[in-house]
Amino acid sequence: MNSQAITQPNAQMLLDIKDLRIWYRTTRGNAQAVDGVDLVINRNEIFGLAGESGCGKTTLARGVLGMTKLPGYVESGEAIYYHPVSDSSVVGRDLLTLPAREMRQMRWRHIAYVPQGAMNVLSPVLRIEKQILDAIYEHSDLSKEEARARMFECMEMVGLDRTVARMYPHELSGGMKQRVTIAAAISLKPGLIIADEPTTALDVNVQQVILQELKDIAASLGVTLIYVTHDMAVHAEMADRLGIMYSGLIVEVASVVEAFKEPLHPYSQGLIASIPMIGGDRSRMVGIPGNAPSPLAWPSGCRFHPRCPKVMEICRDKVPPMLEVAPGRFVACHLYPTPMSGAAPASEELN
């Protein structure tokens, strides 16, 4: 394999996305769907990627996996994935420059993807066992017996009976099909799973059970999970840390507790205020005014300024930099050149 000797700046770091831009060519110009994302994902965490539909979440998730399809393309940036090659050494590879064959190997062995809509990825004419086993044979050196044992082990982890292996997708419910995709994703014990709205098509009860299973699997296998959804209630339940995306950029990163207790960015505040509360005071739901802007022409300055209730003059022209306003707490908003109340400044820029 073509290994790049990239020094790992931090032992906890698993994925380091730097200034990533993924654009789509259209007849009206480039749609800048992901447009300058910087993000670090740590080992053994559940990272929630949130934001309205169209903000670039799925483009980012698929782009990191080398799954950007024409007319989309990676305009620039890096996605360095650090994975152990022995007990004492770690190799960093830029996933965006790996040859296609190596990227295919990385995808199953080290990084797995659980996509939206299980029916779209399962072949309707192949038995479930064939679909899982083919992936295991292709990407590992396991014998037939070992591969079958691994398949049943993974099916058991997601609550599927062994008899499901002999079935075809049309014989399964939506929840069972989604469990099959999760079983396939964990079959090679990857270091990172990216799950993109895996439960949106399922009813609430099934969704609840699958979310808990995913959480348990991540904990028991020591896998890092990036969970992509617009559903803030799911993030509240699943995530350790949260990244909020708006118009192709990450605008806030915080622990899930901080993000819900005291969201800093006005967009995050709007997202959280729009979650219905069971048992809370009766009050009119507050939404975010206006519509998400077009990636063909992002607004100048802060991209949220046409919708922001706290907009200032500077916001219309100057892009707010991402600042660490407290340890591990990042926000890109002109309201925060100063640290949050009660928090010690985390960088010299804030002093």
Binding site for ligand SF4 (CB under 6 A): 265-266, 302, 304-305, 308, 310-312, 315, 320, 333-335
Question: Least distance in Å: CB of 30 to ligand SF4?
Answer: 23
Which residue, 227 or 336, has its beta carbon nearer to ligand SF4?
Answer: 336
Residue 96 to residues 21, 76, 81, Cα–Cα distance (Å): 11, 9, 10
Instruction: Give the pair of three-digit tokens for residue 149.
Output: 């044992």
Which residue, 179 or 265, has its beta carbon nearer to ligand SF4?
Answer: 265
Euclidean distance between CA atoms 21 and 33, whole angstroms: 8
Answer for the pair 224, 42: CB distance below 8 angstroms, yes or no: yes
Question: Least distance in Å: CB of 253 to ligand SF4?
Answer: 15
Find out whether the peptide bond into 71 is cis, omega within 30 degrees of 0. Answer: yes
> Parallel, antiparallel, or unpaired for β 241-246 and 192-196?
unpaired
> Sheet containing 46-50: which strands, arranged edge to edge?
111-114, 192-196, 224-228, 46-50, 241-246, 249-255, 329-332, 322-326
> Sheet containing 13-26: which strands, arranged edge to edge?
29-42, 13-26, 72-84, 90-94
Which residue, 115 or 320, has its beta carbon nearer to ligand SF4?
Answer: 320
Which residue, 271 or 302, has its beta carbon nearer to ligand SF4?
Answer: 302
Which residue, 51 or 198, has its beta carbon nearer to ligand SF4?
Answer: 51
- Which residue type is seen at 72? G
Question: Least distance in Å: CB of 77 to ligand SF4?
Answer: 23
Which residue, 107 or 307, has its beta carbon nearer to ligand SF4?
Answer: 307
Question: Least distance in Å: CB of 319 to ligand SF4?
Answer: 9
Burial 162-199 (b: 16+ CB within 10 A, else e): eebbebebeebebbbbbbbbbbbbbbbebbbbbbbbbb
Which residue, 248 or 266, has its beta carbon nearer to ligand SF4?
Answer: 266
Return the half-sphere exposure (C-beta side, CA atoms, 13 A cut-off) of residue 21: 11
Question: Least distance in Å: CB of 227 to ligand SF4?
Answer: 25
Which residue, 159 or 306, has its beta carbon nearer to ligand SF4?
Answer: 306
Answer for the pair 291, 247: CB distance below 8 angstroms, yes or no: no
Give the N- to C-terminal CA distance of the chain in Å, as an integer: 46
Burial 325-347 (b: 16+ CB within 10 A, else e): bbeebbbbbbebeebbeeeebbe
CA-derived radius of gyration, the chain: 21
Question: Least distance in Å: CB of 58 to ligand SF4?
Answer: 23
240 burial class (0-12, 13-18, 19+ CB within 10 angstroms)? middle
Question: Least distance in Å: CB of 251 to ligand SF4?
Answer: 7
Question: Least distance in Å: CB of 346 to ligand SF4?
Answer: 19
Question: Least distance in Å: CB of 263 to ligand SF4?
Answer: 11
Which residue, 192 or 249, has its beta carbon nearer to ligand SF4?
Answer: 249
